[in-house]
Amino acid sequence: MSVLTLTINDIQCTGREGQTILDIIKENKISLPVLCDLKGLTPVAACRLCLVEVKGIPKLVPACTTKIQEGMVVYTDSEKLRNYRRMIVELLFAEGNHICASCVVNGYCELQNLGYMVGMESVRFDYLWQLFQIDASHPRYVMDQSKCVKCTRCIRVCDEVEGAHVWDLKGRGINVRVISGLDEPWGQVKECTQCGKCVQVCPVGALFEKTATTSEMIKDRSFLERILEGREAKIWVR
């Protein structure tokens, strides 16, 4: 596998063929906001927060799915990028009903942290106030559509790690919804193993444990790496 050289923010970096710009950014400890990205899951470029500028390409590209190339010149920080990132976060807040004060993950929320990161003092757009459903049919967990940012982490972890594929997407544009089973109540989906992986990887308060109340739900995403490393090392195989 050949080694490629590129520059990110005028710093010379190296990477292996097949790696993404985001891989190199992480390896070099460069700060870049992400939301749908989670180590261990297939990147899907759903949130567009990791957009970067690449010299010679007129449009912005998502760092998580763009493969590095020899001589690539990447910029992760500019006035234009900062504007777009802040706009994306504001639009996420405007689209869902994100009332932090009454949310189970208040204080531990990745969307909140992104707000601080991009300097979101307020939302300049009109809030949409769509009426979303809450699905509390599962014995252990709740799905609150109003907090969902459609990052699809739950879908990917259930499919790629747990192997149950309980979750999926339906609809288009603003009507996209994360659904369980064939758009059935979560509690009636027999494939659900109640493992809770989807709950733990959810960056916001869309998926939470029934016992959690405001500001109580701290999520543990480190389990994913432990599981994947364990499988790789076959530590559970007799």
Partner 1 sequence: MGKVRIGTVWLGGCSGCHMSFLDLDERLIELAQVAEIMSSPITDWKLHTPVKEYQDYPEVDISLVEGAVVNTDNVEVLKLVRERSKILVAFGDCAVTGNVPSYRNLFKTDDVLNSVYLDKATHNQMIPSDRVVVPRLLNKVVPISHVVKVDYFMPGCPPSADSIWYTIKCLLEGKEPEFSKEHYRYG
Q: x-or-dash pattern for partner 1, window 176-215, by CB under 8 A?
A: ---------------------------------------x
Query: 125 exposed, middle or buried (CB, 10 Å; 0-12, 13-18, 19+)?
Result: exposed
Integer Cα distance of 203 and 155 in angstroms: 13
Q: Among residues 103, 142, 164, 206, which is the contact residue for partner 1, using CB under 8 A?
A: 103
Residue 174 in the binding site for partner 1 (CB under 8 A): no
3 contacts: CB under 8 Å, gap ≥ 6? 14, 15, 16, 17
Q: Does 96 bind partner 1 (CB under 8 A)?
A: no
- As a whole number of Å, the end-to-end CA separation of the chain is 33
Of the candidate residues 97, 152, 180, 200, the single one contacting partner 1 (CB under 8 A): 97
Q: Whose structure tokens read 């097949």?
A: 18
Q: What does the block give as tokens for 171?
A: 């609809």
Question: Minimal CA–CA distance to 50: which of 40, 35, 28?
Answer: 35
* Segment near partner 1 (CB under 8 A); pick from 17-25, 34-42, 79-87, 98-106: 98-106
Contact with partner 1 (CB under 8 A): which of 2, 10, 59, 101? 101
Q: Which is nearer to partner 1, 42 or 102 (by Cβ)?
A: 102
123 exposure class (CB count in 10 Å sphere: 0-12, 13-18, 19+): middle
Q: Considering the complex, what minimum distance in angstroms separates the CB of residue 93 from partner 1?
A: 8
CB 20 within 8 A of CB 64: yes
- Residue in the block written with tokens 């733990």: 200
> Is residue 31 near partner 1 by the rule CB under 8 A?
no
- The closest alpha carbon to 208, from 129, 141, 132, belongs to 141
Our finding on whether 79 is near partner 1 (CB under 8 A) is no
At residue 177, the 3 state secondary structure works out as strand
Q: What is the smallest separation between the CB atom of 165 and partner 1, expressed in angstroms?
A: 31
Our CB check for partner 1 shows the closer of 133 and 193 to be 133
Residue from 86, 89, 92, 93 touching partner 1 (CB under 8 A): that is: 93
Site for partner 1 in 109-168 (CB under 8 A): 112-113, 115-116, 119, 121-124, 126-127, 129, 131
Q: Minimum distance between the CB of residue 101 and partner 1, rounded to whole angstroms? A: 4
- 66 or 97, CB closer to partner 1? 97
Handedness of CA 63, 67, 68, 74 (dihedral sign): negative
Residues in contact with partner 1 by the rule CB under 8 A: 93, 97, 99-103, 106-107, 112-113, 115-116, 119, 121-124, 126-127, 129, 131, 215
